[in-house]
Structure 1
Amino acid sequence: MVYLLAALHGGMLLILLSNLVYLYRGRLRAVLNEPPTVSVLVPARNEEANLPRLLHSLLAQTYPRMEIIVYDDGSEDATPALLRAVDDPRLIALRSEGPPPGWVGKVHALYQATRRASGELYLFLDADTELHDPEALRRLVERFAALPPDSILTGLTRLRGGGKLLVSLVPCAILLGLPWPLVRRVRLKTLAALNGQCWLIRASDYHAHEPHHALPDEVLEDVEIGRYLKTKGLTPCLRDVQGDVSVYMYPRFSEAWRGFRKNAYLLMGGSPVAFAGLFAFFALAFLVAPWVSPWLLLSTYVLKATTDLYARFPVWIPLLTPLSYILGALLQVDSAVSHWTGRVAWKGRRVGS
């Protein structure tokens, strides 16, 4: 048992180190002689608390060739009024009363937004994001321009807001769960993902494959779109954009729990068999291992502390590593049971697996 757990931790350490080197090497930006036109595409449902912050940061951008398309997915709060109040020709506000049968709301919203987009590049942002300064969009485009032509940029964003003990598991999963240097080298589609909070793609590549239309009912649409586009010859490339983009995922712990409950089971495979296998891996690696050997206890702290500090969480978060993992395990079980019993809901809508 000790050797098995040591091998698991050794593998995760290698993945983490390779990803950190990969991100360091990916800091390059290209010089833009002729900046391409950019369509910023934002889905919004009941986002009155977040939209003012995002729109203020977008409208402050100095990037010369930009349009902002916000698609209101049947909001029941002040979101429509907030959009009507903005007097700027760069903003295009669209609205529907909800998705048609067979579509997830966010997927439908983004698909419809791309019908109106005219940019050469599409930047997909969640409504709870914020660009840090007026040059942030230019830096994102410069990073994208430095990538090979068959690439998609997906961002490791700065995570803010409440529920940090749970939210800190997001960069942990991104940096420990997927060896990003192998995404381009290995053809397996499972070695790919996107972070739906922030990703950038050429409009021509998007429309050649229409990922939202191809995956209309995917709740975990960003991961599945990354895998789908990889099968079409495109490569998702993770870049550290923490200096450019923040995401205010949840204001408090209770909302973080409800939000992750929607996705955790799907991230764990979305079927009872896959969930059982991945949950066993999680439990062995992070809940059992620390009790088997003091070195594995140290390794558990080192892995989580490294991802926490890289993701700029407060120092008290890695100190509470065991609590984060216990909460993560309980959340996974709650998510699985909620999906099995059909009790998953988000923003007033039932969510199915």
Structure 2
Amino acid sequence: MLVPFFWALPWLLLPVLAAAFIRRRPTLDGWAPTEGADAPLVSVIVPARNEAHNVAECIRALRASTYPRLEILVIDDGSDDGTGARAREAAGDDSRVTVLDGEPLPAGWFGKPWACEQGVRRAGGDLIAFCDADMRAGPELVGRTVAALADRRAALLSAIPRQVLGGFWERVVMAQAGMLFLMRYPDAERVNCSPRTRDKIALGGYILVQRDAYLDAGGHRAVRGEVSEDMAIAQRFHALGLEPVLVHAERHLRVRMYRSLAEIAEGWGKNLVRSSGRTAPGPLGAFVPWLLVSGLFFFWLLPPLVLVRGALGIVGWPWVPAAVVAEGAAIAFWAAMYRRDGHNPLYALAVPLGALVMCGILLGSLLRRGTVTWKGRRYAAAAMEAGAG
């Protein structure tokens, strides 16, 4: 009778492993916001392409910052949806906010690094923050990140936001993306302490850098052809001895990355395969995406598949009882994760669907590895990355 439990052991161990390894540290709550007239000027650069639905709220959130010395530079990167007009309306008469029309995209550049590069040219701060238009900064975010950067004596700080999940597909598929992230980076402090460059990561939604260190590293020009420019720049900093640090900022920063299944597929399709390849040594990076697909299949699709085959009379003892135990453990695990993040735990029942969609996204990205489509632009990613640096 113990045989099914033996075969289901990987699923039964999930909560134990999660409790042992997943940690939310360090957190921005550990640093009081930097204040006073002598605080360094922070230039916040917001690269925005076709972000009319996001940019106004992003700017209003940044304007509400309690940080005493702030300038906000919004780069309208060739938008055709009125992003620039929305940004100027949100800026109002606030002299701290400047909205710039971006220059045409040069050959060999991805759009976001190019927009960031243009923003840096106009930035006057000794500290520069890059903030995506879909980010919603709390009033103390900038002050706390400035304090954390100084206290940790880091050259770069990246903040982990709280993910806001709206519709069905976000809660089902984005949860899978979040789990893949936790599998690789369960503890931000371990990432910070690791001596290996491949362990370093930055989340491009909000990155704060020391200007001098950023320029020494070559800025965004050095990662101009990288799909995952945020991870690339963090790893470049570390390789040059300019330490990056990753912190949890869920109470001070939130984001709703995607609003439809099509956006999820396009967004993760461009990032996941290439960024995952950077996390393994040398030629092994090419196998990481396939390991992700295998892991998704094994943990979240195999048990329900065995149950279906059992219902059809194709398999029996001990596989069906083992699948029952495994699927029950998986549902309990995911229900706890959903409840922890404030979502209905019944979404745990849709985990196999989410895993199936994520497998499709990964496989689709692998099949079209030479090209990337994002925000209406098509890039020859493989050729650009070969010439980056």
TM-score in same-fold range (> 0.5) = yes
Q: Secondary structure at the match of 1:334?
A: helix
CA contact under 8 A between 2:228 and 2:275: conserved in structure 1? yes
| Structure 1 residue 216: Cα displacement | 0.8
- Residues 1:195 and 2:203 aligned together: yes
In 2 relative to 1, CA 9–334 (structure 1 residues): closer, same or farther, beyond 3 Å? farther
Task: Tell me the residue number matched to 2:128.
Answer: 122
Distance 1:176 1:277 in 2: 12
CA contact under 8 A between 1:150 and 1:233: conserved in structure 2? no
Which amino acid in the other structure matches residue 180 of structure 2? A
What is the aligned counterpart of 1:170 among 177, 196, 202?
A: 177
Deviations 1:318-348 (Å, cap 9, x if unpaired)? 34322222221122112222335x4x42221
Q: Secondary structure at the match of 1:100?
A: coil
Distance 1:267 1:97 in 2: 27
| Structure 1 residue 305: Cα displacement | 4.6
CA contact under 8 A between 1:73 and 1:95: conserved in structure 2? yes
- Residues 1:212 and 2:220 aligned together: yes
Deviations 1:96-122 (Å, cap 9, x if unpaired)? 243200110101111221122122222
| Structure 1 residue 309: Cα displacement | 4.4
Percent of residue pairs bearing the same amino acid type: 29
Q: Secondary structure at the match of 2:257?
A: strand
| Structure 1 residue 10: Cα displacement | 5.5
- Residues 1:141 and 2:146 aligned together: yes
Which amino acid in the other structure matches residue 21 of structure 2? S
CA contact under 8 A between 1:121 and 1:200: conserved in structure 2? yes
TM-score, normalized by length of structure 1?
0.85
- Residues 1:20 and 2:23 aligned together: yes
What is the aligned counterpart of 1:262 among 270, 273, 281?
A: 270
| Structure 1 residue 67: Cα displacement | 0.4
Task: Tell me the residue number matched to 1:100.
Answer: 106
In 2 relative to 1, CA 135–218 (structure 1 residues): closer, same or farther, beyond 3 Å? same
Q: Secondary structure at the match of 2:46?
A: strand
Which amino acid in the other structure matches residue 352 of structure 1? A
Distance 1:5 1:152 in 2: 42
In 2 relative to 1, CA 332–243 (structure 1 residues): closer, same or farther, beyond 3 Å? same
TM-score, normalized by length of structure 2?
0.78
In 2 relative to 1, CA 259–88 (structure 1 residues): closer, same or farther, beyond 3 Å? same
**RMSD, aligned α-carbons:** 3.1
Task: Tell me the residue number matched to 1:150.
Answer: 154
Deviations 1:143-190 (Å, cap 9, x if unpaired)? 4444x1025322221222443222223332332212433323332211
| Structure 1 residue 206: Cα displacement | 1.5
CA contact under 8 A between 2:135 and 2:205: conserved in structure 1? yes
What is the aligned counterpart of 1:276 among 290, 295, 301?
A: 290
In 2 relative to 1, CA 276–136 (structure 1 residues): closer, same or farther, beyond 3 Å? closer
In 2 relative to 1, CA 31–348 (structure 1 residues): closer, same or farther, beyond 3 Å? closer
| Structure 1 residue 205: Cα displacement | 2.1
Flag the structure with larger Rg.
Answer: 2
Q: Secondary structure at the match of 2:361?
A: helix
- Residues 1:347 and 2:375 aligned together: yes
CA contact under 8 A between 2:300 and 2:351: conserved in structure 1? no
Distance 1:11 1:135 in 2: 36
Task: Tell me the residue number matched to 2:62.
Answer: 58
CA contact under 8 A between 2:45 and 2:128: conserved in structure 1? yes
- Residues 1:337 and 2:337 aligned together: no
Distance 1:267 1:136 in 2: 26
CA contact under 8 A between 1:262 and 1:351: conserved in structure 2? no
What is the aligned counterpart of 1:318 among 335, 348, 356?
A: 348
In 2 relative to 1, CA 307–103 (structure 1 residues): closer, same or farther, beyond 3 Å? farther
In 2 relative to 1, CA 156–185 (structure 1 residues): closer, same or farther, beyond 3 Å? closer
| Structure 1 residue 131: Cα displacement | 2.0
Which amino acid in the other structure matches residue 18 of structure 1? F
What is the aligned counterpart of 2:302 among 288, 292, 314?
A: 288
CA contact under 8 A between 1:183 and 1:235: conserved in structure 2? no
Deviations 1:240-291 (Å, cap 9, x if unpaired)? 2122112121222332222222223323428764433442344334433676
- Residues 1:70 and 2:100 aligned together: no
What is the aligned counterpart of 1:110 among 116, 139, 148?
A: 116
- Residues 1:223 and 2:226 aligned together: no
- Residues 1:238 and 2:268 aligned together: no
Which amino acid in the other structure matches residue 279 of structure 1? V
CA contact under 8 A between 1:16 and 1:176: conserved in structure 2? no
Show structure 1 runs of 4+ deviating over 6 A. Answer: 2-5
Paired residues in the alignment total 348
**Gaps (5+ residues) in structure 2?**
279-284, 307-321, 382-389
